[in-house]
Amino acid sequence: MTVDTTQLNRGRVFFGHSDTLWLFGYGSLIWKTEFAYHERRPAHIQGWARRFWQGSHDHRGTPDAPGRVVTLVESPGSTCHGMAYRIDTGTLGPLDVREKNGYLREQVMLHFAEGDHTEGLIYLATKENAAFLGDAPLDAMARQIAAAHGPSGSNRDYLLNLASALDDLGAEDRHVFELAARVKARQARQKK
């Protein structure tokens, strides 16, 4: 099921009258920016874990056959690595449309490799949104991801591009890497 959060997000303003703000990407925003930015830096947030628990009915799947994309779940002691972008506040409009299927703007503390930190913004899909799929066995998620395809391409490519981007960052994410390994193994079996 889809839910358009575009208008809700336009009212979720956390940074007053600032001309720029930091946006933290932890999924496709790491490797598929498609927006202008002033600066890009590897970063991480603490207390959150990346999970393929959000349904994608509009990008990597369809309403009848949703894909799975990442969201964040609270996880004390966990660290989620990604990419931070310093963007103009006007860039949020197109991002609100891109992230409209259940994601809401939220404020977080971003930590950079150099040791500095700042407040930033994430798009977060919680279990309260209609497109949330939640946890499932890894094999079941891998089957769904391997089969799903939507207007933005295959769900498989989303997963493998994310795994590659995290590897390039030197970031460990067992959930993503285990799913990627299972999807690759399925593909290898199908080619035999």
Does 169 reside within a domain?
A: yes
117 in a structural domain: yes
Q: 115-135, pLDDT tens digit by residue? A: 999 999 999 999 989 899 999
Beta strands in the chain (DSSP E): 20-25, 39-56, 67-88, 104-112, 117-124, 149-150, 153-154
Q: How many domains, in total, are found in the chain?
A: 1
What local confidence, expressed as pLDDT, does residue 190 receive? 82
CATH of the domain at 130: 3.10.490.10
The domain containing residue 97 runs over which residues?
6-191
**Residue 189's pLDDT band (boundaries 50, 70, 90)?**
confident
- The pTM score is 0.90
Task: Give the helix ranges, DSSP H, for 64-131.
Answer: 92-98
Answer yes or no: is 161 within a domain: yes
The answer to whether position 77 is within a domain reads yes
Segment 175-192 shows an average pLDDT of 91
Task: Name every residue whose Cβ is closer than 8 Å to that of residue 20 and which is 6 or more positions away in sequence.
Answer: 38, 86, 87, 88, 89
pLDDT at 114: 87
Q: What is the pLDDT of residues 16-73, one digit of tens each?
A: 667 899 999 999 999 999 999 999 999 999 999 999 999 999 999 999 999 999 999 9
What does the alpha-carbon distance between residue 34 and residue 102 come to, in Å, rounded to a whole number? 20
pLDDT at 151 over 70: yes
pLDDT at 1 over 60: no
The answer to whether residue 141 sits within a structural domain is: yes
- Residues designated as active site: 99
Say if 1 falls within a structural domain: no
- 139 is a domain residue: yes
